[in-house]
Amino acid sequence: MKNYDMREQLDRIDKVIGQGPYRDDWESLSAYRVPDWYKKLRFGIFIHYGLFSVPAYDTEWYPRMMYVKDSKAYEHHIKAYGKHTEFGLKDFIPMFKAHNFDADRWVSIFKQAGAQYIVPVAEHHDGFQMYGSDLSSYNAVDMGPHKNILGELKKSAEKEGLIFGASSHRIEHFFFLGEGRDFDSDIKGDFERGDMYWPSVKGPKDFDACDGECSPTDEFMQDWLVRTCEIIDKYRPKILYFDWWIQRVELKPYLKKLIAYYYNRACEWGEQAVINYKHDAIPFGIAVPDIERGQFAAAKPYRWQSDTAMCFNSWCHTVGNRYKEARDILCDLVDIVSKNGTMLLNIGPKEDGTFTDEETAILKEIGKWISKNHETLYESYPYRIFGEGPTEVLEGGFNDGNVKEFTSRDFRFLSGNGCIYIIALHPDENGKYVVSNFAKKQGAFNTGIRSIIRPGYDTKLRFEHTPDGLFIHCSTENDLPVVFRVVVE
């Protein structure tokens, strides 16, 4: 355990806030504007890699559920590792070797997949930091792999021209391991700030509540603030992502300080920063809202993000993960971009630092499609309407378990380079497409069309532009979204 003077750290944070353009109040922070570089983002990679990658069982919540009696993770833990007094969460640390971790190789794969930015989890709910820290010895540099996972990914990402972000899930650590106090385990006992098991209080019944039971203490919230500012200062992420629970009313004074500190530091460094948040934790306009495992039903006039995973069941690698189809991920990506959003797609590496064959194949297929349709995705912006079609997209989070059965009548629209891009989310088996919103009539789309081209193939397609619709003829070789570049007169 490392000892540090938190008062000194907090005074330094106040000094930065006092000297910068942003104060720690909502009125001052409302002067923030989303930077232009973020408005150009379409696709990024989220990374869940940590102690939970060692047992690779159930989900990334294994560190909590292994202490919840009668859960399948609890039963599995006893069978696989023994009693919790003999083998607890901390005993996974020496097993976390990451001996095949290669940041350059990871980033190369992400770049080939078409990603513009990466957001590794710096610290998950379990309290093990994936970076070198002066605040706790329970980190990947001092223990386990003895590698600065976050720092190496930053270096590789920026070398390849990808934007680097970091994700903090620290605030939930307040209660995450608390169930281990209900029986004889290594969680029972007195712990101090800096210990991985500190404070391990009893968790709330309602994880999403903004107030009520399980109120975080001032000491814990101060520690959260100092830890997050350490990530900012040491790794200078251009994007700072927060999971839920920062909506707690008790945290708001510290959250305001954190935002003011981050934005002031960015100004000091000549940068522009972005924060992603959930659950209305931050007043609208001060940061970028994020929807977990979900989307909006319609286009928005503001930038937003959808974070989702390659797997239905887990954010981390587990044995038996159920993977999505690349086709369905691409359909969601196109839908999100057409509605002024960006997708952050998660990968869960194995403990040794390699990816599964399924993850590699998904990224390869996504990258192949994006390489052919680069201009469509990255050189365009939302059209005046996002699309048309019979398939409903449910509004809100945690809906990606419901795979959308898009048809050849479901289209999404984008515009750029003086053209309009029409994307059919599913190929038509007869190669015939009818787009109603581009019918040739006043009040719909009353202009001439010079040509329609399929990007990546550069072949002109046959079409008819009539008052009944825009009819496009195009045969395809797979079941991925089909893009049409419409060149107008």
Going from N- to C-terminal start, the domains of the chain cover 6-292, 385-488
Structure confidence by residue, pLDDT tens digits, 164-180:
999 999 999 999 999 99
Tokens of 18: 């006092």
**Interior CA angle at 240 toward 236 and 245, to 5°?**
140
The second-level CATH assignment, the architecture, of 385-488 is Sandwich (2.60)
Sequence-ordered list of residues with C-beta below 8 angstroms from that of 251, at least 6 positions apart, any chain: 171, 216, 221, 224, 245
Taking phi first (over 0 means left), then psi (-120 to 50 degrees means alpha), and beta for anything else, what does residue 381 get? beta
Quote the CA–CA distance of 200 and 178 in Å, as a whole number. 4
Question: What's the topology of domain 6-292?
Answer: TIM Barrel (3.20.20)
Cα torsion through 386, 389, 394, 397, rounded to 10: -40
Distance in angstroms (rounded) separating the CA atoms of residues 322 and 310: 8
pLDDT in tens, 304-358: 999 999 999 999 999 999 999 999 999 999 999 999 999 999 999 999 999 999 9
pLDDT tens track of the chain, all 489 residues?
676 789 999 999 999 999 999 999 999 999 999 999 999 999 999 999 999 999 999 999 999 999 999 999 999 999 999 999 999 999 999 999 999 999 999 999 999 999 999 999 999 999 999 999 999 999 999 999 999 999 999 999 999 999 999 999 999 999 999 999 999 999 999 999 999 999 999 999 999 999 999 999 999 999 999 999 999 999 999 999 999 999 999 999 999 999 999 999 999 999 999 999 999 999 999 999 999 999 999 999 999 999 999 999 999 999 999 999 999 999 999 999 999 999 999 999 999 999 999 999 999 999 999 999 999 999 999 999 999 999 999 999 999 998 999 999 999 999 999 999 999 999 999 999 999 999 998 777 989 999 999 999 988 999 999 999 999 999 998 999 999 999 999
